[in-house]
Structure 1
């Protein structure tokens, strides 16, 4: 089991997931609510979501390492692990939708009169932003649901 200053790595990595994915969900909600700000918010929100999604398998791996060192294997830990299996697919879908929003908003410039002018956003951009926001809310809810079971396993 990997440790940092004597602490198991799992609770340290989990904080990246717990902070970054819900923060990205809030950013996505703001981008969906304010189309004018979508171009400014989309890329930073995508990067935050990507960081959170990358942290998910790291948290899972370190969680399995921690679980192997525990004696007895509490049913609460098993429940936490089972719940955690839902997060990575949802986080990947969230990142994919955010990437689609960025792509739809930043289409190739149109050449007009010898110079390039920004292309208008795709008509799909608002729908993609709403879909990404909905999945972001689901991801944030999953993080809370999984985290609650993990906290219950530790403190019970």
Structure 2
């Protein structure tokens, strides 16, 4: 993977996909987990968005490692890299949980449709354990979404500190303020 594109570090460009897609996927996943109408209407789109966000994470970490190899060693960069490597471990379980929430709703919806048309229902989806499991999966989705959101903020903060810690701003002169 190239380290630079058009003179800009690839990581700086790719990280914006993570910064946008992951929080958007987290908000959408929580919405789908708690709102049945949204789950029925947008569930599979949310799963696709979450999968796309998950794919963007290793691309960002890989491009970050490439950039890290071109920079002088720094504890701030090391902290940022370590935090970035941890995001996938908390985000993928959220993707799995929201996928399970949507799949259970899909199959429960199909069972209801079959019941209305007079066809035989599937005993697996009509079992009493389905509702508690669906609730548990929604709670797991929300928990991993919360942890992922905190991790994204921690990564962003450490990345900003690593990039800007040596930058000192000087007060502008009055004639330069426009």
Q: Displacement of 1:54 after TM fit? A: 0.5
The structure richer in strand per residue is 1
Residue in 1 that maps onto 2:59 = 58
Residue in 2 that maps onto 1:142 = 151
Quote the Cα distance in structure 2 between the aligned partners of 1:28 and 1:138.
13
CA offsets, 1:106-133, max 9 Å, x none? 117344556689x77x423233122112
Residue in 1 that maps onto 2:12 = 11
- Mark the structure with the bigger radius of gyration: 2
Do 2:32 and 2:42's aligned partners in 1 also have CA atoms closer than 8 Å? Answer: yes
Which residues of 2 match residues 124-139 of structure 1 at below 5 A? 124-139=133-148
CA offsets, 1:61-82, max 9 Å, x none? 1001001111x31110011011
Equivalent residue pairs, number: 155
TM-score (norm 1): 0.87
Quote the Cα distance in structure 2 between the aligned partners of 1:12 and 1:63.
10
Structure 1: runs of 5 or more not aligned? none
CA offsets, 1:73-112, max 9 Å, x none? 1110011011112111111111111111121111173445
Do 2:33 and 2:98's aligned partners in 1 also have CA atoms closer than 8 Å? Answer: no
Which residues of 2 match residues 67-146 of structure 1 at below 5 A? 67-70=68-71, 72-107=72-107, 109-110=110-111, 111-112=114-115, 122-123=130-131, 124-146=133-155
Quote the Cα distance in structure 2 between the aligned partners of 1:19 and 1:116.
44
Partner of 1:85, secondary structure, is helix
TM-score (norm 2): 0.77
